[in-house]
């Protein structure tokens, strides 16, 4: 795993990795298990990848856990996921603090169960001063909703005459997003072979590298993670230049 890699945080051009953790359901169905069993196994992979990211010295890891469109799933599955989020956050709190991980959440908390929101707020407060890996967990997150909220914020500033429409910059929009102050993802990984963004970090992905992995999320392991980072580090990023 990380120890055997020639890529170190110092020589890697990748400091922020976003992951679309897809394929829990298919992983389970392939094994004759329930979709819930897939989500439980997916949570184990989350734990391992956070450890690997922290060990590797990655600066920022953003994990897409629940999209604004995932409410369209059967009520039972949504309830299983909400319960799992809460229990995993509780279970992993001590370890995250021990690993010096700073946790922040992106996405709207309005529709989430109150007790989950309390757990999220507590975890953010308990890790706010940590200086290691920044872990952004995207729960009830949608890139379009993120942009919509940012545009509303800027529109209010215009209404309050704090900002002139002609003065709005690209950085103003970046700063108004839920990821304000966090650098854009250098690399976005999606497991399970699907080739789409599914409303993840739309604005922030403008110059991200992409890696689509054929494994389902519960099978994605720290070795795969380091391999993907290694591969992305060796790519030339031109940002429109030569």
Q: How far is the CB of 24 from ligand IPE (least distance, A)?
A: 4
- Residue 239 backbone zone (phi > 0: left; psi -120 to 50: alpha; other: beta): left
213 near 190, Cβ under 8 Å? yes
146 is catalytic: no
Q: How far is the CB of 210 from Mg ion (least distance, A)?
A: 17
Tell which positions 198-237 bind ligand IPE, by CB under 6 A. 198, 217
Check residue 66 for interaction with ligand IPE (CB under 6 A). yes
> What is the rounded CA–CA span in Å between residue 197 and residue 188?
9
Check residue 65 for interaction with ligand IPE (CB under 6 A). yes
Residue 139: strand pairing partners: 66
DSSP 72: G
Tell which positions 9-28 bind Mg ion, by CB under 5 A. 22
Check residue 196 for interaction with ligand IPE (CB under 6 A). yes
Number of neighbours of residue 229 by Cβ within 10 angstroms: 27
Residue 104: strand pairing partners: 136
Stretch that binds ligand IPE, among 87-95, 111-119, 176-184, 191-199 (CB under 6 A): 191-199
Number of residues that bind ligand IPE (CB under 6 A): 18
Check residue 81 for interaction with ligand IPE (CB under 6 A). yes
Helical axes 35-56 vs 222-233, angle rounded to 10° = 50
Among candidate residues 24, 70, 140, 199, the one labeled active-site is 70
Of all residues in the shown chain, the one whose CB is closest to Mg ion is 22
Q: Which does 225 bind (CB under 5 to 8 A by kind): ligand IPE, Mg ion, none?
A: none
> What is the rounded CA–CA span in Å between residue 165 and residue 122?
37
CA 29 to chain centre: 25
Q: Which does 20 bind (CB under 5 to 8 A by kind): Mg ion, ligand IPE, none?
A: ligand IPE
The catalytic residues are: 22, 70
Residues of the shown chain interacting with Mg ion in the complex, contacts defined by CB under 5 A: 22
């Amino acid at each position: 795993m990380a120890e055997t890699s020639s890529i170190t945080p110092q020589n890697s051009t990748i400091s922020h990795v976003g992951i679309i953790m897809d394929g829990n359901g298919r992983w389970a169905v392939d094994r004759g298990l329930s979709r819930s069993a897939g989500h439980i196994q997916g949570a184990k992979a989350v734990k391992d990848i956070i450890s690997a990211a922290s060990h590797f010295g990655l600066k920022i890891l953003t994990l897409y856990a629940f999209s604004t469109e995932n409410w369209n799933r059967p009520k039972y599955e949504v309830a299983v996921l909400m319960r799992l989020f809460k229990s995993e956050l509780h279970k992993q709190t001590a370890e995250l603090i021990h690993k010096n991980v700073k946790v922040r959440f992106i996405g709207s908390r309005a529709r989430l169960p109150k007790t989950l929101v309390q757990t999220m707020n507590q975890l953010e407060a308990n890790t706010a001063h940590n200086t290691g890996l920044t872990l952004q967990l995207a729960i009830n997150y949608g890139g379009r909703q993120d942009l919509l909220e940012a545009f509303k914020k800027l529109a209010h500033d215009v209404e309050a005459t704090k900002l002139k429409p002609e003065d709005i910059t690209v950085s103003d929009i970046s700063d108004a997003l839920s990821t304000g102050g966090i650098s854009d993802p250098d690399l976005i990984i999606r497991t399970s072979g699907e080739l789409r963004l599914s409303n993840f970090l739309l604005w922030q992905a403008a110059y991200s590298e992409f890696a689509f992995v054929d494994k389902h999320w519960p099978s994605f392991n720290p070795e795969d993670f380091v391999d993907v980072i290694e591969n992305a580090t060796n790519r030339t990023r031109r940002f429109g230049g030569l």
